[in-house]
Structure 1
């Protein structure tokens, strides 16, 4: 019984620490969006892209942003990658932590996305 409790405590601690890492660091994300000049296409507020076909990023769901950046990083590898040449080129240099940080920053910005009920 003691062994089971120890394992359960360890597992819970691991999950808590994992969720903290997955949360990302918004301040680092802000610096990364400046470094990669994301606003040049997605707008200075990340809510007014220069082309209507470019997505609004401000306020977007964090997990969606992470998934999209990972898919762009994969590119056309046949594994659910995205093939936009500009975004794939930008995302290739990003680490998993960079992606988490960027997603945390963009998610925290006020946006005009409309969520359906």
Structure 2
């Protein structure tokens, strides 16, 4: 009985973390204008070295943008992305991720 209570408490405690990770796709769309020059207006890049973002997993996008912002991601277009991600807040990142994941 104690184990199930602990599991229930742990699950309920984690719920706000999951909810806060979800972004606002409409706000992300408004913020995504600068992204379209490389990743395309529809989230599909015209240049093969740039990744498609449309339909990508939101959690992956959040982790990738935060890694660029924190200088943890190297190689490829990392220098460009670090500059693009630097001014983004955590809410901006979550919103962009929600927007591209919903495409």
Per the normalisation by structure 1, the TM-score is: 0.72
Larger of the two Rg values belongs to structure: 1
TM-score, length-scaled by structure 2 = 0.81
Where is the helix percentage greater, Structure 1 or Structure 2?
Answer: 2
- Gaps of at least 5 residues in structure 1 are 110-117
What is the number of equivalent residue pairs in this alignment?
Answer: 99
Which of the numbers 24, 35, 38 marks the counterpart of 2:35? 38
Per the alignment, residue 73 of structure 2 pairs with 81
Map of 1:54 onto structure 2: 50
Gaps of 5+ in 2: none
RMSD: 2.1
2:100 alignment partner in structure 1: 106
Q: Is the 1:71–1:82 Cα contact (8 Å) retained in structure 2? A: no
Asked which structure has the greater RCO (Cα within 8 Å, sep 6+), the reply is 2
Which shows bigger deviation, 81-90 or 8-17? 8-17
